[in-house]
Structure formats: structure tokens, C-alpha cells
Structure 1
Amino acid sequence: MDSFIYTSRPGRVVFGQGKVKTLPDEVDSLGVSRCLVLCTRQQVFDAKKLTDLLGDRAIGIFDNATMHTPVHITEEALEMAKTQKADSVVSIGGGSTIGLGKAISIRTGLPHICIPTTYAGSEMTPILGETVDGQKTTRSHPDIQPAVVIFDVDLTMSLPVGLSMTSSINAIAHAVEALYAVDTNPVIQMLAADGIRSLAEALPTIRQDPSSVSARTKAQYGAWLCAICLGSTKMALHHKICHVLGGSFNLPHAETHTIVLPHALAYNASSCPQAMEILARALPNSDGDAIKGLNSLLDKLDMPRDLARYGMQEKDIEIGVQHALSNAYSNPREIEEKPLREMIRRCWAGERAVQDL
């Protein structure tokens, strides 16, 4: 066995149906009593249920969490936290709201309790992506990771089927990159394989029966494992492209990950044979071919394949290429301009991934 380093991440996870009701106890255990609840404008109803649950521990709702965590939105939330004398933040939602909670927490030191309602996985990572003037940058620090995460399947039951699918493929992308990350290790590879397998098994059922509690629970479990992988390894080409395209052209986060994933995997395939073997075993209908297994899953789920539908224009391809080449992330295969350009073009046009461009 090769040598490796494994660093576990601190943080408390509460998992189970109905566990959101333990939120007041988690607040009390942190020794805080003035919680600012964060959400998007689409999830105010959920946020109000939390304030009812918290009672006088809640001091207000900030309902303008925004995709890609624009810094000017963070500044608005910080002002509210200061004015209301918040001593903690509670985020409920997906990556946009969780990102806002992280941004506030790392700037103020306020503890962050996170209640995910999607499968995107930001809640388990010490990573924060923020956008200024259309440029998205990321940073990592242990203090960015939320102090407590509550996974309650009941909060995912109303997640639209389409978003359930793209959010889950986003989670799978985290685990796929962890398989071939420069700092991967056997522990992370086991978590990644189990996370991918759980999601790949749950998603077809959710698509056919969105009310299946067992399938939703399996998906949430798989997403949790995939998120641990993201938080424990360095990101590579897939995440770099998604951050560049999403931040530069305001593309939807989960959908962008879904479209880019097979292309980034195909680009790296020949340079990470062990990762490809593990992935092939985790995906159904792969016949030993990870790319075939991934495409089979995406086809079965009828996933979107082109970025053009979300507003990216052909002229944006070159901008994306140049941004992706700058400050490149570590990657198993050298990042070359010509094949990178063709890969991003294929993502834009919705063409099938081609191995080793």
C-alpha cells in the first residue's frame, strides 16, 4: 500500500428523520442565544419554521442568500448580524445559503449551524467560494467549516425532482475528484465509493417516486459521504472549470457541475486508472468502464448536457479557457490549452465527452 496522510475534520453531525427538532438543543450546547437565520427568498417559509422552533433564541431572518456568494450580499448580512447583535448563524438551504453562513462565520467567528435541504455538500467542507465583479475565488480554512450540521430527510422531501438530480450529480462530482486528488487516501476512497454507490442507487427511485423516504434518506447519506470527500482533499480540474464558468457567467451551480463532470472525467481518465477502477465498481451498468457507467446514469436520469441553455454564449468559451488556465488547481493530467478549449466547447454545445482530447 502507498503511503498517505489522512486528516479528519472536526464537526458535529446529527443525522435522521425529524432531527431538525433538536436545533434548540444544538444552539444551547454551543452556548449561544441570538441566532440569525439565513435563507434564500424561496425558502423563507422554512426559515420561519426554524424561528418558531428557536423561539426567543432567533433574532431575525436574512433572506437574500444568493448563488455564488457575492461579497456585497455578505456585507448586507454582516450589517444585519451586527445591528441585531447576533452571536451565531443558522443556515437552511443549499449551497448559496450555506456559503453565506460560512462567509459570515469566517469573518466574525460566530458559530454556524447548518441545515442542508439539497445534496450539494457544502456543509461538510472548510471551503468558501465567493464572487466579486464576476470573478469567483475559493479559499480553505478549518474555521470555515460549520460547527454543527443537521441532516433531516423531511427537509428534502419537497426538493423538486430536477434539482434533486443535479444536486446529487454535483455531490457525485465531489467524490469523483476525491478519488484522484493529489492528496487522496484509502479512507477517502472508501467514503467516495460508498457515497457514489448510494446516490447512483437512490436517484432512479427518486425520479420515479419523489416521495420515497428510503430513497431520499439513502441519497442524503450518500451526499454526506461525498461532501466529506470534498472537504478532505484538494480540488482539481472539474471544480476549477465549474468555479470559473459559474462565477464568470452566473451559471447555476449544480447544473454546471452535472454538465462538466463527464468531460473532466474523460479528460483525466488515462492519468488515474485506479480511480477509474473504483468508480466503475461503484456505478451500475458500467461493465468495468467508469465513463460508460456515468453516462448511463446521466442518460437514465435525463440530465441536461449543455451550458448554452443556461445562458453561456459561444464567445464565452475563450474567456472560460483563459480563466481556467490561471491559477490552475492540481490535476492528474497536465492542463493543456487546446484540449481544455475543446472540452469547454463540448460542455457549451452539449456534445458527448471524449476521452483524452
Structure 2
Amino acid sequence: MVFKSGHAADNLAAEVGRLRASRVMVIAAECESETAKKVSTGFDVALHYSDVSPHVPIAKAKAARAIASEYDIDLLVCIGGGSTTGLAKAIAMTTAIVAVPTTYAGSEGTNVWGLTANSRKLTGVDNRVLPVTVIYDAELTLSLPVQLSVASGLNALAHCVDSMWAPRADPINQAFASEGIRALASGLQAVVSDPAGIGGRERALYGAYLSAVAFASAGSGMHHKICHVLGGAYGMPHAQTHATVLPHVLAFNAQHAPEAEIRIAAAFGADSAVEGLDRLCSALGAPSALKEYGFDEAAIPEAARLILPAIPESNPHVVTIDDLERLLRAVWSGRPVEG
């Protein structure tokens, strides 16, 4: 990991040289094209690629793999958020990745891949998709609007919270998650109060990296299983969905996981985990209702049926179909969080 604001181009050129890459494919969405060109000026680029979509539809993954093979690519450089990193991971079974994040998604720090096929999000773990280098530069996040910064940062914070009771949770990844919560809470509030400031964005990037390490180690918990279904089956926006679902899952689980609840509350500096997250979301003006993003209330029973089989046995509290329907109705409406 390389972490230095204002030096992404120099650091990226140095990594391309260190890896002795001669056929580099730079992946960046159209909205990041100028940033990508600026950051990749220090080396020869064989191919600029911009056909990026949320949740990595499998057809787009296959097309990107084919063109990478056609150009004999020996290094992928992904510049952008989680969708861009996700596409690089879909190609990376035989090609190394250097990731340059411009959001707080955290995908660059995990060996988890995700693809969407037939309205279902498929995920897996493979060390070949883990970037060999991650280049963090907070200046590259300055163009990320405040509300997208908030949603992206809360997505990272959801990695931390889920890591407290995921299938492989242990005191080490819980420690990473606790520090990630502290850094993200502080950093995101600074971003909201001073969007042009670098300090808050650096803390948010630091927290996002810790969240990714914790998540990769602990595995995927109840929160992520819900969000994978909502994203894959109903096309919900990734970051906003995570931000909206998180308070409800925390309220559902916290009372049944007292040790984790104490850790989360302490990280927020609050009397309880739910209070701490609620206070943060209020301060940030966080997304609160999925109906605002096009989720149809009539889809809730089907969504609950799709989610239930994916809930890990490690979840602190047994989950029923009725629990999921109540939770999803609260997520849809944005009504106050209930235990």
C-alpha cells in the first residue's frame, strides 16, 4: 500500500516500472477519464477502457476479458470506485492489478469478487483478484460530491460493523474494524464540514482500507447478504443501499452481540452502538430510505425470500422471513430504526 496525497501519478509510474509491465490496460469510467489520463502520464498505456457498470454484469466482464486478451495485457490499472475495481477483478485471474481508488468503497483491499448474472449477484473469494499494489491519494477524492462521499464512506463503515459478527470474526479483525469505524466517523464528518480539505479525506481513505482488511478477514455477514440481493436483483445503487440498510441491521443484531456492541459503541464514542451510528448518520445527512432510489415496496416479500438462505449461521440472532420483511419495510420507508 502506498499512501501519499498529491503523488498518485508518480507512485503509479513507479509501480508499473517495478512490476516491469509493458502492456498496461487502464480501466476508468467515463466520469473518471480525465483523472485517469492525468494519473497515467508516466508510462505507456496499451489500452484505455471505460465500459464500467455497477455490480459488474457478467456480459461486460466477458467483453473486458476478451479485449484484455486481444491486447495481450500484462497489468491492469483501475482508477475509480468499487465498480471499476470490480471489473478489474473480473479480468484479473491471470493479470495483476494496481488499484488507484477515488472513493471509499474498499474493494481494492479485498480478495472478494462479485458479478451479476440473471439479476443475481454472485460473489466469491480468490487471492488472484487482490491488487498487488493500492495507491491512495486523497486529492483524487476531491471531485467526489459530499453526499456520494457520505454514502461511499458508510459503505466502508458497513464492512467494519459486519466484520464484528461475520463467519470468521476474531479479536484481530474486530480491532481493525473498530479503528476503521473511528477513522471513518471522524473523516466523514470532516468531509461534510470542509469538502475541500485533505485531512478528512485522508482519514476516510485510511478507514476504508482498514474496513476492507477486516471484511476480507472476517467474511460477509447479514448486512452484505441483504445488500447483495438488493443490488443484484433490483439494481439498487451500491453505496446508498449499504448506507441505508446498515442502521437497521445494527439495531437488529447489536442487542444479541454484547461484546461487539461495546466495541462499536466505544469506536463511535457513544453510550450504545445504535445511538452512535444514528448520531453520525444525522450529522452526515445520510441516505435513509430505499424508496428514494426506486426500490418497489411490492418487491419486499420476494427480496426477503431471496435473502433468507444467504444469512450466515454466525449471525448473532436467528433471522426469520418475518424479520426480514419488517427490516426491509423499514429500509424502504426510512422510518426510525427499531431493535
- Normalising by the smaller structure, the TM-score range is over 0.9
Structure 2: unaligned runs, 5 residues or longer: none
Structure 1 counterpart of 2:258, one-letter code: P
1:161 and 1:207 in contact (8 A); partners too: yes
Cα distance in 2, alignment partners of residues 126 and 215 from structure 1 = 27
Structure 1: unaligned runs, 5 residues or longer: 1-12
Please state if 1:244 is matched with 2:232.
no
Report what 2:7 is aligned to.
19
Cα distance in 1, alignment partners of residues 235 and 58 from structure 2 = 14
Of the three residues 137, 142, 163, the one matched with 1:157 is 142
2:12 and 2:40 in contact (8 A); partners too: no
Secondary structure at 2:68's aligned position in 1?
helix
Cα distance in 1, alignment partners of residues 262 and 290 from structure 2 = 29
After TM superposition, list the pairs within 5 Å mapping 1:128-167 onto structure 2: 128-167=113-152
Structure 2 counterpart of 1:256, one-letter code: T
Report what 1:278 is aligned to.
263
Report what 2:329 is aligned to.
345
1:184 positional shift: 1.6
1:181 and 1:332 in contact (8 A); partners too: no
The ranges of structure 1 where at least 4 consecutive aligned residues each deviate by more than 6 angstroms after the TM superposition are: none
Cα distance in 1, alignment partners of residues 268 and 140 from structure 2 = 27
Percent same amino acid at aligned positions?
38
Report what 1:60 is aligned to.
47
Secondary structure at 1:52's aligned position in 2?
coil
After TM superposition, list the pairs within 5 Å mapping 1:32-71 onto structure 2: 32-54=21-43, 56=44, 58-71=45-58
**CA deviation vs aligned residue, 1:49-72 (integer Å, no higher than 9, x gap):** 234232x2x111110111001111
2:184 and 2:203 in contact (8 A); partners too: yes
**CA deviation vs aligned residue, 1:80-110 (integer Å, no higher than 9, x gap):** 212222111100000000000111002xx10
Secondary structure at 2:297's aligned position in 1?
coil
Cα distance in 2, alignment partners of residues 19 and 188 from structure 1 = 30
Cα distance in 2, alignment partners of residues 290 and 349 from structure 1 = 22
2:104 and 2:204 in contact (8 A); partners too: yes
Cα distance in 2, alignment partners of residues 26 and 136 from structure 1 = 32
1:154 positional shift: 1.2
1:182 and 1:332 in contact (8 A); partners too: no
Report what 1:300 is aligned to.
283
Secondary structure at 1:67's aligned position in 2?
coil
Secondary structure at 2:41's aligned position in 1?
helix
**CA deviation vs aligned residue, 1:117-168 (integer Å, no higher than 9, x gap):** 0011000001011101211011012222111111111111221101110111
Cα distance in 2, alignment partners of residues 137 and 85 from structure 1 = 27
Of the three residues 219, 224, 231, the one matched with 1:234 is 219
Cα distance in 2, alignment partners of residues 309 and 43 from structure 1 = 26
2:13 and 2:40 in contact (8 A); partners too: no
Of the three residues 200, 206, 223, the one matched with 2:208 is 223
1:234 positional shift: 1.4
1:181 and 1:236 in contact (8 A); partners too: yes
**CA deviation vs aligned residue, 1:205-230 (integer Å, no higher than 9, x gap):** 21121011111111111111111111
1:19 positional shift: 3.3
1:351 positional shift: 1.1
| RMSD of aligned alpha carbons | 1.2
Deviates further, 296-305 or 323-332 = 323-332
Report what 2:197 is aligned to.
212
